[in-house]
Structure 1
């Protein structure tokens, strides 16, 4: 035989209750079954709310009561088609409602609501629903669970009398029909006969008790989800159904917030080794989750992540606790005597403090109880008053295979640390099936997501990107991400989730990801944004595995980096301002990233997509020392001096560089050598030397007065230089030489200058807008290392930024 339990949502609507009927009738063809049902969805809450209205003397209890009557009547009218069955059921239901009305009226008159009365009131939900289902499933027999589920009182709480209950269940079900309908949740006191209940979620427990007593083949819990999920799907979009769990794993997940089944449900069937299958009433074809003793071929160390929000942490501390026997006994006895449940314990090895986790609603009472218990010790200073921290969250990672997998705890805390999440307390049992820890409740969503992603419970690894700047580079980057999205998902199991995009005026944010096909339209219609509001929105999202991508040339945006890095947000910058700013600021950014365990990457600051900075870092990390750097670092200037010819004057080459997107929006930045100086400063610093921009010796080729005034003035005056450049060009041509604007670093000394190079020099044949770098190191002294390739252009720069992003994804 089989026991099937249907929750409130499974009997909460006409659609769901008719689905229940089909499921039950299909199962009954194969074997005898016991069906346990909860109250109609939401009715238990309404029964309690109505009683509170009545005890407070509010006439609104009558309206609430009539709403419940009306809901049950409408359900019967809709689903019961036989007139005789309908009339009989109405008589039964109305008799129950008449009793319930009398109880409410009594509460209203005397303004008293005892626990005994409250238990009686909430019992009507299951008594009503089970009679409706018993009539709907023709041929079924209704049995009153109050006659065989027995409890007794411990500290004001109902506790199952297992021995008596098992005996009565066996007797009651001696002659089983094909279908037996039982109201869940409700019971009676073994001594007084008064109505009691098994607690919220107790219908699951009722079904488990019956299944265990009757040695059922399986216990099926029918609910509104496909089974246990790897995490809360409302928080983690990538959460998926777990096929199989052990009893221990299921219990751990339930105890820490997974509300799929009521935790006490597991014990009775576990003892009898009866499997539990969790199924979805709304999707009966889904396989669900099977819970049993042993899971074959189980390789996953982590099965799921569960959490309890609304946690309070109480710390009992004092020097007198060290080595004193019985302190913890007093803590837990005092709390147990007052009916306060503790779900987490963390004790310092020095024994001078013990922290306990309770629910927020129990916190103040628990503090009062413990302060009273240790009043004498607190009075003489041997112990401190209880320290309470509220509005926390407890998270547990669960899996029986953790005990066979080294490094789980290290990975857990390392992952949280890199994400800027502080662990307030932690606990791990010797069985190693559960590691629990407490964080600030504001970090709950981020913690769940980063752990789900880190422990491969997600189908894909997710990187959440904030892209600032949608001009030539930013626009190309977003285009490349869009074009590569499916390929990365399929072959690298990586989702690049663009959760924020900002232009110079507006910004849009979406935690689930922005559609890159129409982001410009969304930006146009969005609210205005400033660098400060942009930063505030990013921090407010508090999103995991996040990367801020700066594709601007803005000093205000670069000024956000310290704050972002301090909040464990990776930074990828095409913007050169930060890395070439004061050495102290550059060092601060590098050190902050190192301290926080995140990345500050700016490969495209020099050479666009060329791996120059990465190569220098690799050489230094392997023990080499950079002695000298010679480089052509401006694709713009190289383009200009490659284009200049007898029929193409200097001013025209500058204009072409601007039109073809090689130069900065203001070409004077390139012509002044500012761009090259920034790049040389960055390379010199990455090579291990301290340098400021003012330390670079400059030999420029455009007079200072051309950099004054407006851009329009610059373009108007520029042709005046053409004749002089043409004379010098002719002379160089006769000598077989070419101009190159060369940046040089020699043992930390840096300079930039326009130089003439001959055919035997590596820079002579440099074409178009290419860059070239010669690295002389202690290892590469006789034959310097040469790096050469495209050094300008939006597409290659965007590709370099993309490569930096991917390097973070691959950590």
Structure 2
């Protein structure tokens, strides 16, 4: 889509990232958003950009755990169909939004994802989304799903459209796990540091997906599909077993000590090649790009092929604010008529 005037946006979900996005829309001083609606299980409601204080109070009530129907937001009088919305923004962590996304794209409605599941799950679902975007001449962008808005996805998609596929991608792409590894190196207990990560918004309230390695695998699958590499899973090693974080943390600390004595770093990485995806712990040189990562940063090293120097992309890859900013950039990128990440053709 390309819009010369204000746009209408429909938000699916109002969790932590969703609330940050909604509040940013309230502060929009450029008049880019004419209408914003938000949906949860209790219904569809209007975000009143002309009454920011009242709407912000409603969002704060939602923050306390109330459904949207109890926040004071005005119910949207129409049915739950998308209607004439210009953009659908999936801010959920649901595995049930695929049909909504395909329908929106086929109707010519742009889609922005913070939700990884629709494009990292079943390969057939990914193909259907790609086909819907092509059929509706609509764009889908998903910068927030990998790297919280770092330009890695744009770079890979541009290469894929030029029929250029990298030989290999190695990535430290969980800001949560990088944060945990840094704490372990400082001698902190994993369960205590994990609770701290949750309280700071670095990890999800339920961090199971992170520590099981599933979140990294989802991100790796997205990158593989957008870059032309294989999405076949060859290895997925958990960061820590559920319910055994203290013992897992102590085991990681032992491995970190061994690696440091040999001039190496012990990290949790994803490796993507034409053969498939491997996710798990690796030892790398202490002076490598991956070893220099800290805090919630991500690092992506893209190896284009023989005779071409690797490209390294790094920066903040976790947290509510970077993720919300990535969503908003995608919203206004699509509104400006720039290409999406899908369709690839």
CA distance in 2, matches of 1:571, 1:515: 26
1:538 is paired with a residue whose SS is: coil
How far residue 681 of structure 1 moved from its aligned partner, in angstroms, is 0.5
Asked if the contact 1:633/1:676 (under 8 Å) is kept, the reply is yes
2-structure distance, mates of 1:727, 1:642: 14
Question: 1:158-200 CA distances to partner (integer Å, 9 max, x unpaired)?
Answer: xxxxxxxxxxxxxxxxxxxxxxxxxxxxxxxxxxxxxxxxxxx
CA distance in 1, matches of 2:166, 2:250: 41
Q: Deviations over 1:765-801 (max 9, x none)?
A: 11111001011124x8531111100000111111111
| Residue 702 of structure 1: aligned partner | 240
Out of 17, 23, 28, the residue aligned to residue 473 of structure 1 is 17
Q: Which residue matches 2:335?
A: 809
Structure 1 counterpart SS, 2:93: coil
Residues 1:538 and 2:99 aligned together: no
Larger relative contact order (Cα-Cα within 8 Å, sequence gap ≥ 6): 2
Cα 1:701–1:466 shift into 2, 3 Å = closer
For the structure 1 residues 566 and 517, does the alpha-carbon distance in structure 2 shift closer, same or farther, using more than 3 Å as the test?
A: farther
Asked if structure 2 preserves the Cα contact closer than 8 Å seen for 1:650 and 1:725, the reply is no
2:260 to 730, 733, 743: 733
**Residues 680, 743 of structure 1: 8 Å contact kept:** yes
| Residue 505 of structure 1, CA deviation | 3.3
* Map of 2:65 onto structure 1: none
- Give TM-score scaled by structure 2 length: 0.85
| Structure 1 residue 729: Cα displacement | 2.9
Q: Choose which of 21, 36, 52 in structure 2 pairs with 1:499.
A: 36
Match of 1:431 in 2: none
CA–CA distance in structure 2, aligned partners of residues 518 and 801 of structure 1? 23
- Contact residue 684 and residue 748 of structure 1 kept, 8 A: no
Deviation larger for 579-588 or 563-572: 563-572
- 1:500–1:514 Cα contact (<8 Å) kept: no
- C-alpha separation in 2, matches of 1:726 and 1:803: 38
Q: What is the CA distance between 1:603 and its match in structure 2?
A: 1.4
CA apart distance, 1:658: 1.5
Report the structure number with the largest CA radius of gyration. Answer: 1
Kept after mapping to 2: 8 A contact 1:646/1:726: no
**Deviations, residues 405-431 of structure 1 (Å, cap 9, x unaligned):** xxxxxxxxxxxxx6xxxxxxxxxxxxx
What is the aligned counterpart of 1:790 among 312, 316, 325? 316
Q: SS state of the match for residue 164, structure 2?
A: coil
Consecutive aligned runs of 4 or more in structure 1 exceeding 6 Å deviation: none
Runs (5+) with no aligned partner, structure 1: 1-417, 419-449, 455-460, 490-494, 707-713
TM-score, normalised relative to structure 1: 0.38
Q: Go from structure 1 to structure 2 and tell me whether the alpha carbon gap of 1:537 and 1:655 turns closer, same or farther (over 3 Å shift).
A: same
Match of 1:754 among 281, 303, 307: 281
Give the root-mean-square deviation of aligned CA atoms: 2.6
Taking a change above 3 Å as real, the CA distance of residues 776 and 742 of structure 1, as seen in their structure-2 partners, is same
In structure 2, distance between residues paired with 1:645 and 1:760 = 16
The residue number in structure 1 matching 2:127 is: 587
Q: For residue 117 of structure 2, give the secondary structure of its aligned residue in structure 1.
A: coil
* Residues 528 and 577 (structure 1), Cα distance of their counterparts in 2 relative to 1, 3 Å cut: farther
Contact kept, 8 Å, 1:697 with 1:750, in 2: the verdict is yes
Q: 1:765 aligns with which of 277, 292, 298?
A: 292
For residues 667 and 515 of structure 1, what CA distance do their matches in structure 2 show?
35
Q: 2 CA distance for matches of 1:673 and 1:528?
A: 39
Alpha-carbon deviation of 1:465? 0.7
State the Cα distance separating 1:553 from its structure 2 match: 0.6
Task: Tell me how far 1:735 sits from its aligned partner.
Answer: 2.4
- 1:518 is matched with 54
The 1:516/1:470 distance shift into structure 2, 3 A limit, reads farther
The 1:637/1:588 distance shift into structure 2, 3 A limit, reads same
State the SS of the aligned residue for 2:34. strand
Inter-CA distance 515–507: structure 2 relative to 1 (3 Å threshold): farther
SS at 1:789 equivalent: strand
The offset of 1:559, in angstroms, is 3.7
Match of 1:336 in 2: none
Give the alignment of 1:479-628 within 5 angstroms: 479-483=23-27, 485-486=28-29, 488-489=30-31, 495-509=32-46, 515-519=51-55, 521=58, 523=68, 524-525=71-72, 536-539=79-82, 542-543=83-84, 546-628=86-168
The structure-2 alpha-carbon separation of the partners of 1:722 and 1:632, relative to structure 1 and needing over 3 Å to count, comes to: closer
Q: Per-residue deviation at 1:646?
A: 5.4
